[in-house]
Amino acid sequence: MAKDKTGKKPAAGKPADPKTAARSGKASAPVLTRFGVIPPSSRDIKRIGVLTGGGDCPGLNGVIRAVVKTAVEVYRWEAVGFEDGFEGMIMPGKHRPLDPEAVSGILYRGGTILGSTNRGNPFAFPVTKNGKTEPMDCSGNVLDAYRRLGLDCLLVIGGDGTLKIAERLMKERGLKVVGVPKTIDNDLSATDQTFGFDTAVRTATEAIDKLHTTAESHHRIMFVEVMGRDAGWIALMAGMAGGAHAILIPEIPYNITKLIEKIRQREELGHKSSIVVVAEGARPVGGGVSFIRSANPPFDLVRLGGAAQRVADEIERLTGRETRVTVLGHIQRGGTPTSFDRNLATRFGVAAVHAAARGDSGHMVALRGTEIVTVPLAKAVGRQKFVDPQGELVYSARAVGVDFCSPDSSGCGG
């Protein structure tokens, strides 16, 4: 290992002094430490930024912790955290230095110590003038903060919308960015799974488990509404794990008559209660989704809600049977992350810092099989991953009697 300018070997985990390496003719050579090989490109980096955007989910703190500890302890960089997503780069006084002490004890905590927001798009930032809120391009403020704070790379943790913004900042403003995928919906196509999803499924499954007993006691049809927006991953996985009798997901529009048939079939077999899991984006054949509030572009997406109540009301009207609806809502975003989500978050955070060290700007870390890889942001964003109606998961659910209530169903639960 090369010696530094004092004539001593660098401490374990600390790259050799680049000036000394240059004099020895080894400026481009990787440095081997107890953490592995440190790429030479990492010597050009002194400080990185990190932020969390979009909805919160279990595991965000695990990523932040891994990013900070890897940046500081492996590469000897400085880390800056921005509060409330990109808003922290636009508004003054919303950033702070992060070191290993600042991220101590947060691995098992849900949420994000940096805060987050769904309304912080710097290219359409809400600015109120004369009592009227209008979108304004504040991406220049982001670039100013990036330069003023001496950042060499920005690590962006978020879902599809947040990562789209990161890619645009790279293309239009020249920022160096590395993305970390985050969503409980598990609908990002470039990664096999996102952290937070496992915890959300566990939360929903536990709720379904508890509803079985009260449904059986009162001979009721219980409806459980779960999150997921346009994708039915949470509903499918929690419904299967919780022993639901029917699962309604966006990818398979349902027929209410088929659900009534399923309930009556169970009654004929002596079962006086049923559990139906409904994804918030579920819709009937030929109908639209249920929503609480319409979209308010460019600030807000449509706020979904009421899908389960819609189905329950129809069942009561058509059958006279008593129903109850449980909407899990944001409880799925909270709580202690599972061990799987903690480990995946940690691996993503470490890999994101390594990607920055290699100079892989414009890439996102992803899980492929059992390995963490990087993929171009351009190929990762704007492409949702949906449940395959003809896939193995749906087939397995049908094989054990779960009904998806599709109009063309035949055998194996429909």
pLDDT of residue 350 exceeding 80, the answer is yes
- Give the pLDDT confidence of 266-324 residue by residue, as tens digits: 999 999 889 999 999 999 999 887 877 665 655 566 677 789 999 999 999 999 999 99
Record the tokens describing residue 344, joined without a space: 């995946």
23 found inside a domain: no
Both 53 and 67 in one domain: the answer is: yes
What number of residues does the chain have? 414
Q: What is the mean pLDDT of residues 381-406?
A: 94
CA distance 31 to 390: 50
Asked whether the beta carbons of 169 and 199 are under 8 A apart, the reply is no
105 found inside a domain: yes
Both 221 and 191 in one domain: the answer is: no
Both 50 and 180 in one domain: the answer is: yes
Record the tokens describing residue 378, joined without a space: 């351009």
28 found inside a domain: no
pLDDT score for 383: 85
Both 134 and 264 in one domain: the answer is: no
Mean pLDDT of the chain: 88
Rounded percentage of the chain residues whose pLDDT exceeds 90: 71
Query: Which of 139, 136, 132, 133 is closest to 154 using CA atoms?
Result: 139
Least confident of 132-141, 174-183, 346-355: 132-141
Least confident of 27-31, 136-140, 179-183, 396-400: 27-31
pLDDT of residue 197 exceeding 80, the answer is yes
144 catalytic per annotation:
no
**Which of 11-25, 342-356, 377-391 has the largest mean confidence?**
342-356
Q: Which residue has the tokens 């960015």?
A: 177
Asked whether the beta carbons of 361 and 376 are under 8 A apart, the reply is no
pLDDT of residue 28 exceeding 90, the answer is no
- Give the pLDDT confidence of 118-173 residue by residue, as tens digits: 878 999 988 888 888 888 999 999 999 999 999 999 999 999 999 999 999 999 99
pLDDT score for 117: 87
Both 185 and 73 in one domain: the answer is: yes
Asked whether the beta carbons of 328 and 242 are under 8 A apart, the reply is no
Least confident of 69-73, 142-146, 180-184, 214-218: 214-218
In degrees, to the nearest 5, what angle opens at C-alpha 274 toward C-alphas 268 and 279?
135
Least confident of 346-350, 357-361, 407-411: 407-411
Query: Which of 112, 84, 157, 110 is closest to 334 using CA atoms?
Result: 110
Both 153 and 253 in one domain: the answer is: no
297 found inside a domain: yes
Q: For residue 290, what is the domain's CATH number?
A: 3.40.50.460
Both 223 and 236 in one domain: the answer is: yes
DSSP state of 18: H
Q: Given the residues 4, 185, 341, 360, select the one marked as catalytic.
A: 185
pLDDT score for 45: 92
34 found inside a domain: no
Q: What is the mean pLDDT of residues 207-233?
A: 92
In degrees, to the nearest 5, what angle opens at C-alpha 382 toward C-alphas 379 and 383?
75
391: containing domain: 201-333+387-399
Record the tokens describing residue 110, joined without a space: 């849900």
Q: Model-level pTM? A: 0.86
Record the tokens describing residue 132, joined without a space: 């009227």
14 found inside a domain: no
Both 317 and 210 in one domain: the answer is: yes
CA distance 394 to 335: 28
CA distance 307 to 281: 7
DSSP state of 330: G
Q: Which residues contact 315 (CB under 8 A, 6 or more apart)?
A: 221, 256, 259, 260, 263, 321, 323
Record the tokens describing residue 256, joined without a space: 């209410």
Exposure string over 134-164, b if 16+ CB within 10 A, otherwise e: eeeebbebbbebbeeeebbbbbbbbbbbbbb
293 found inside a domain: yes
The packing angle between helices 197-218 and 339-358, to 10°, is 160
